[in-house]
Amino acid sequence: MLIIGSHVNFSNSDQLLGALNQALSYDANTFMFYTGAPQNTLRSKIDDGTTSKALEKMKENNIDISNVIVHAPYIINLANNKEESKYDFSINFLKQEIKRCEQIGIKYLVLHPGSHVGLGVDEGISNIIFALNKVNESNSSVVILLETMAGKGSEVGTNFDEIKRIIDGVKDKTKIGVCLDTCHLNDAGYDISEFDKVLDEFDKKIGLSYVHCVHINDSKNIRGAHKDRHENLGYGTIGFDNLINVIYNDRLDNIPKILETPWIGEYPPYKEEIEMIRTKTFNGNLK
Ligand code: FE
Ligand code: FE
Ligand code: ZN
């Protein structure tokens, strides 16, 4: 089954219900949100009344909460421990974010592995592993999905070997998974036009059973550019047909696909892009 949605807003006032209503307006059957602004850690209390109203409405619309994804804020950086206070802050914030996910009933939390900021990949990876094991000490049912990164700056997790090394170090394998991002894969050097080969490599090194989310984005930059600038479907270097092949790949069936494509002026493009995906037809009038 095609499980498709986009990034939506989670506002203080209507929280999960507001997020759901946006998703429904896009004809989506899942969605992803930050529990507050992605670039800061100000978070308001989760309102259980609003959550239960949303869960009821989700049931009516056949949306399964276990397909709904939360994205952790960018400022969590588990790879760099140069400043102990910042590193501890990241770990503690991630713990709180997991609690918020649990309170809502979210199963999957997407996390950028982090940037080593000069420490080197090896130290970055061991910092991430230490932090994840620390976070996993508090028994929760939430699974952290490491996102494959574009390789901007000193990002860790830009290839399957690095992701594998992190997973190998995480003690509880039921708490860890992967989120593939098509723009990031492209920018990291993977060839999305040969996506089955990409999946073969992933399966050999890590195992496809670890994939629980796919971010669907075109890219503004050429393969291997290490840039990370998302583009609307069919308007970038990956191209519409290649993205359709990712979305409808049998090996990723039933795994939530989430659009993080840029807004067009003042407007989110998600209704139109989801329609393009459902009809497998490119819309050249989007911008
Ligand atoms: Fe991300
Ligand atoms: Fe992403
Ligand atoms: Zn990105």
Residue 87 placed within a domain: yes
Which ligand places an atom closest to the C-alpha of 181?
2
Distance (angstroms) between ligand 2 centre and the Cα of 127 equals 22
Report yes or no on 223 lying in a domain: yes
Ligand 2 centre and the CA of 212: distance in Å?
13
pLDDT at site 201: 98
214 inside domain: yes
Q: Using an 8 Å Cβ cutoff, are 112 and 149 in contact?
A: yes
d(CA 87, CA 209): 30
Q: Which residues surround ligand 2, an ion (CB under 5 A)?
A: 181, 215
- The parent domain of residue 95 ranges over 4-279
- Phi, psi dihedrals of residue 70, rounded to the nearest 5°: -110, 140
Which pLDDT belongs to residue 138? Answer: 86
The SS3 call for residue 194 is: helix
Q: What is the pLDDT of residue 181?
A: 98
What residues have a C-beta under 5 A from ligand 1, the ion?
Answer: 147
Of all ligands present, the nearest one to the C-alpha of 188 is: 3
Instruction: Please indicate, yes or no, if residue 286 is contained in any of the structural domains.
Output: no
> What integer pLDDT is reported at residue 37 of this predicted model?
78
Neighbours of 222 (CB within 10 A): 12
On whether residue 287 sits in a domain, the answer given is: no
Whole-model pTM over 0.85: yes
Ligand showing the shortest atom-to-Cα distance for residue 229: 3
Question: Ligand 2 mean position to 103 CA, how many Å?
Answer: 24
CA-CA-CA-CA torsion for 92, 95, 101, 107, nearest 10 degrees? 140
For strands 218-219 and 211-216, give the pairing: unpaired
Is residue 284 situated within a structural domain?
no
User: In this structure, which ligand is nearest to the CA of 186?
Assistant: 3
- Whole-number Å distance, alpha carbon 181 to ligand 1 midpoint, is 8
Question: What is the whole-number distance in angstroms between the Cα of residue 211 and the centre of ligand 3?
Answer: 17
- The total domain count for the chain is 1
Give the Å distance between the CA of 47 and the centre of ligand 1: 25
Give the chain's residues under pLDDT 50.
Answer: none
Return the CATH number at 207: 3.20.20.150
Give a yes or no: residue 201 inside a domain. Answer: yes
Say if 173 falls within a structural domain.
yes
Centre of ligand 1 from the C-alpha of residue 86, in Å = 20
Determine the pLDDT at residue 202: 98
- Cα distance between residue 160 and residue 202, in whole Å: 6
- State in Å: Cα 146 to ligand 1 middle: 9
Tell me how far the alpha carbon of residue 182 lies from the centroid of ligand 1, in angstroms: 11
